[in-house]
Amino acid sequence: MKDQTLLITGANGFTGRHACDYFASKGNRVVAAIRRQNSLPAISGVDPRVCDLTVKNEVLAMVDDISPDFVLHLAGKNSVPESWNDPLLYMEKNVLSTLTLLDALRNHPECRILIVGSRLKFPLVSFPYSPHPYSLSKTLEECAVLSWRELFHQHILLAEPSNLIGPGSSTGICALLARHIVNSEQGRGMNSFRISSRYDMCDFVDVRDAILAYDLILRKGESGRVYPICSGIECSLGDVVTSMLELGNVSIVLEMGNAPQSSSTDDDYSCEDLHEMGWKPQIPWEQSLVEIMEYFRNGGGKG
């Protein structure tokens, strides 16, 4: 991928910032699409580009200007509670923006495009029961993207990561809890925290491991395939939360119920394809948790 141009959308998001660091450090020419000026810290080797992915002409101009060899499409919305409040926004950002990007890339038929889906999509065979608008948006996105590929013969790949964790600002349960613990340590905020259930089973992958998988899929994945990305280790939400609380210097009261579930309904979830391509996650979740705590203790997520 050296000397080739990689476009990263959603470059200022949780995964996007890690992805910019990683691909720039590998020597790629990275163009980082962001929605607002100055929303991304300066990273050597990364060329920021302001582009609103909901505006067709902006996307077309950007894509034609940089003529990417690879696209890592991370932009989108990913909060289940927010999706209930503004479901239409989720359809715009997760479905239409993705198709706007694919449409612009029709002029670049050699480009390899990785769309990052979600394990929270619902299986279309048992349609039409999506548990929340976020799931609906990601399901429609995947259906649209796979069909689009059949129609227009672009090199489109899909990744379906489980819960990504690691240092950085995220809306995931671990980041929310870490922020909560650090706030309490510093005398701010409530000392109770709500989770859906101790018994929800979750699979966590460090975001940096996921990016190694994205790199591999972009280079060697088979067009039209969906690549699940997971650690293969299901742990209970209770265990993860307890481990995080042990890293903190405060006592937090856990409340149960009425919180969004982090777990997927999809039981058949295997990374065999990626294992065969040589990928295995390197960072155990215990280490990710330590780094998440460090990130927030060092004032992360305040800028």
Interface contacts to a copy of itself, rule CB under 8 A: 56, 87-88, 91-92, 95-96, 99-100, 103, 124-125, 127-130, 132-133, 136, 139-140, 143-144, 146-152
Asked if omega into 128 is within 30° of 0 (cis), the reply is yes
- Least gap, CB of 255 to a copy of itself (angstroms): 25
Question: Nearer Cβ to a copy of itself, position 59 or 116?
Answer: 59
Question: Nearer Cβ to a copy of itself, position 148 or 279?
Answer: 148
Question: Nearer Cβ to a copy of itself, position 82 or 185?
Answer: 82
Q: What residues contact 227, with CB distance under 8 A and at least 6 apart?
A: 157, 158, 159, 160, 213, 217, 221, 271, 273, 274
- Least gap, CB of 142 to a copy of itself (angstroms): 9
Q: Please state, in angstroms and rounded to a whole number, the distance separating the CA atoms of residues 1 and 35.
A: 25
- Least gap, CB of 85 to a copy of itself (angstroms): 11
Q: In what side-by-side order are the strands of the sheet with 163-165?
A: 163-165, 201-206, 234-236
Question: Nearer Cβ to a copy of itself, position 124 or 190?
Answer: 124
Question: Nearer Cβ to a copy of itself, position 127 or 199?
Answer: 127
Q: What residues contact 54, with CB distance under 8 A and at least 6 apart?
A: 92, 93, 96, 97, 100
- Least gap, CB of 94 to a copy of itself (angstroms): 11
The two three-digit tokens of residue 47, written as one number: 């060329």
- Least gap, CB of 158 to a copy of itself (angstroms): 11
- Least gap, CB of 129 to a copy of itself (angstroms): 6
Helices 285-297 and 237-247: crossing angle, nearest 10°? 50
Question: Is the Cβ–Cβ distance between 203 and 232 less than 8 Å?
Answer: yes
Question: Nearer Cβ to a copy of itself, position 9 or 231?
Answer: 9
Neighbours of 270 (CB within 10 A): 10
Question: Nearer Cβ to a copy of itself, position 98 or 184?
Answer: 98
Q: What is the separation, in whole angstroms, between the first and last Cα of the chain?
A: 32
Question: Is the Cβ–Cβ distance between 217 and 263 less than 8 Å?
Answer: no
- Least gap, CB of 287 to a copy of itself (angstroms): 38
Question: Is the Cβ–Cβ distance between 217 and 227 less than 8 Å?
Answer: yes
Angle, CA 97 vertex, CA 92 and CA 99 arms, to 5°: 115
